[in-house]
Structure 1
Amino acid sequence: MRVLVTGATGFVGRRLVPALLEHGHDVHAMTRRPEAYDGPGDAVAGDVHDPDSLAAALAGVEAAYYLVHSLDDDDFERKDAEAARAFGAAAAAAGVRQIVYLGGLGDEDDALSAHLRSRREVEGCLGEAGVPVTVLRAAIVVGAGGISWEITRQLVKNLPAMVVPQWASTRSQPIALRDVVRYLLGVLDHPGARGRTFDIGGPDQLSYREMLQQAAEVINGRRIPIITVPVLTPSLSSRWISFVTDVDVTTGRNLIDSMGTEVLVRDHAIRDVVPGEPMGYLDAVREALAEQTAAA
């Protein structure tokens, strides 16, 4: 089937496009600069923040993946909602049968951060014009080039010890990039997935502190001392992260705001639609490091 992938040059998109091609799909990679695109698939011009560009990009498309967000912008909530609403309307006008969106975990009754609240809003905006939306909600995706993973990797690589705030005790359910792509592929044109929302995650429920420690054992061959302090604001945390890693302050702050929310898989219905056991955290860390080494 003809499939459009937004965010085709991003962390998840650049792995998804070749996987779709391997499964025999006609893949259009949407990018603002198609002349500079050197990845697989057919490059098409389009920008989710420019509604006038979407009709041509979606022409003849049967299903679309929506893999874009604006964490590096202080006004990302408004911009992401407007973009999702425009994309959903353009998809409906083009006769698209399914939109697949990668969102974020987090219980509805929690006081969600701006980041997670925006992910929920985008889910609704994409479907307002009537196209069935399949939502996959994930926590940290572990893979080479992912922002959350890069923060983890660079912290444990660059620091002999670290001081972390209370949110480091919050539990998360990380998932390997390989499994995210597997689930994204599996729900495409699946009658049991259209219009539904699924939690996706690996088998391990870990605190951020545990993830740092386990990653350190793989990367450095040893654990590192981690001290938890009661007060360290998101602003201070994000500045500290931008100093130690190459993640910018705005992106770091928007991510850190979410780290006080427990993000765990509550429903395993995805296993009925896309069978198979997901990879554990340590194996995902090893695979991410191997990919980075191979690309260096």
Structure 2
Amino acid sequence: MTPSPTVLVTGATGFVGRRLVPALVDSGHRVKAMTRHPETYDGPGEPVFGDVHDPGTLADALTDVNVAIYLVHSLDDDDFERKDADAARGFGLAAAANGVRQLVYLGGLGAEDETLSPHLRSRREVEQLLGEGGVPVTALRAAIVVGAGGISWEMTRRLVKNLPAMVVPRWAATLTQPIAIDDVVRYLAGVVDNDRAVGRVLEIGGADQLTYLEMLQQAAREMHGRRLPILQAPVGTPVLSSWWITLVTGVDTTTAANLIESMGNKVVVTDPAIRSIVPGEPMTYADAVRQALAEG
């Protein structure tokens, strides 16, 4: 019987990582949870120190690792494209030097022939740079991830909670395919050491394709049991939108601006190949919202 691989999860204390580590442990994997503060880590797995922005710290974390899952990005930094590119290149080279056989990365949806926002363009660049050292990369591309504590969901929740009505910019008409955090975790765990997924780009999404306006309305129905009065404005810049969201929700202005600029890109699944590799029906947006609300 082939032994279960040892898996390193970067960003182990983050929104996705803190849910993924327990799922991998439950699946029988030995898991190394990488964090800059292992002394305070209280989750499952083996805490290990590592900082993707300091490649010299990665060798110990990657020792004896078969699969490494990369869940790091720097949206709260004005220079996030350069920082994320440097980190991805360094991590990929360190993974190769330590004999890692698969890298798994959670990136972003978006058509290759479309002008991508800086956020989505950076996600695509990270996919490529992770593989420069020669380790095959499995890239899972997703749109908005819905779950308690996720920045995109928290923006939605606070907007709906704090405003009795709202005027939304034109990006609210863009089509997207939100996905529940549980489905993201299921797909990430499902591609680990899976020969059918190694070296591939796979698109993941929930059951529904919705505009951002429809997402706000569905969230309002789940939260308040009523329709939220929304007027769509014909104009709206990312800068003005980010100021508005920061004012209403308290989300960091830099993060809000970087996310909002991506909302002009249509982000939906066009290739359902993941469904045959990791079987199971994804949740609807309404179910994902109900679960996020139940978790707080």
TM-score (norm 1): 0.98
Equivalent residue number for residue 144 of structure 2: 140
Counterparts of residues 87-106 of structure 1 (less than 5 Å): 87-106=91-110
Specify every segment of 5 or more residues in structure 2 that has no aligned partner in the other structure, as ranges: none
Equivalent residue number for residue 86 of structure 1: 90
Specify every segment of 5 or more residues in structure 1 that has no aligned partner in the other structure, as ranges: none
Counterparts of residues 147-158 of structure 1 (less than 5 Å): 147-158=151-162
Residue type of the alignment partner of 1:91: A
**1:251 Cα deviation after fit:** 0.1
Equivalent residue number for residue 169 of structure 1: 173
Equivalent residue number for residue 52 of structure 1: 56
Distance 2:167 2:184 in 1: 31
* Deviation per residue, 1:118-140 (Å, 9 max, x gap): 00000000000100100000000
* Deviation per residue, 1:214-246 (Å, 9 max, x gap): 000000111111111122211111011111112
Q: 2:234 aligns with which of 209, 230, 233?
A: 230
Residue type of the alignment partner of 2:83: K
Distance 2:235 2:27 in 1: 49
1:33 aligns with 2:37: yes
Equivalent residue number for residue 181 of structure 1: 185
Distance 2:197 2:72 in 1: 21
Residue type of the alignment partner of 1:253: A
Q: 1:291 aligns with which of 286, 291, 295?
A: 295
Distance 2:136 2:236 in 1: 42
Residue type of the alignment partner of 1:288: A
Partner SS state of residue 266, structure 1: coil
* Deviation per residue, 1:5-39 (Å, 9 max, x gap): 00101000000000000011111110111111122
* Deviation per residue, 1:111-158 (Å, 9 max, x gap): 100000000000000000100100000000011111111111110011
1:18 aligns with 2:22: yes
TM-score (norm 2): 0.98
Q: 1:204 aligns with which of 208, 215, 227?
A: 208
Q: 1:274 aligns with which of 260, 278, 281?
A: 278
Distance 2:208 2:42 in 1: 36
Q: 1:64 aligns with which of 52, 63, 68?
A: 68
Equivalent residue number for residue 114 of structure 1: 118
Residue type of the alignment partner of 2:25: L
Distance 1:289 1:250 in 2: 26
1:193 aligns with 2:197: yes
Distance 2:193 2:236 in 1: 45
1:5 aligns with 2:9: yes
Distance 2:12 2:144 in 1: 19
Residue type of the alignment partner of 1:189: D
Residue type of the alignment partner of 1:241: I
Partner SS state of residue 136, structure 1: strand
Runs of 4 or more consecutive aligned structure 1 residues displaced over 2 Å after TM superposition:
none
Distance 2:274 2:22 in 1: 23
Q: 1:250 aligns with which of 251, 254, 267?
A: 254
Distance 1:107 1:157 in 2: 33
Distance 2:214 2:276 in 1: 30
Distance 1:220 1:145 in 2: 20
Q: Identity over the aligned pairs, expressed in percent?
A: 72
Q: Report the RMSD for the aligned CA atoms in angstroms.
A: 0.6
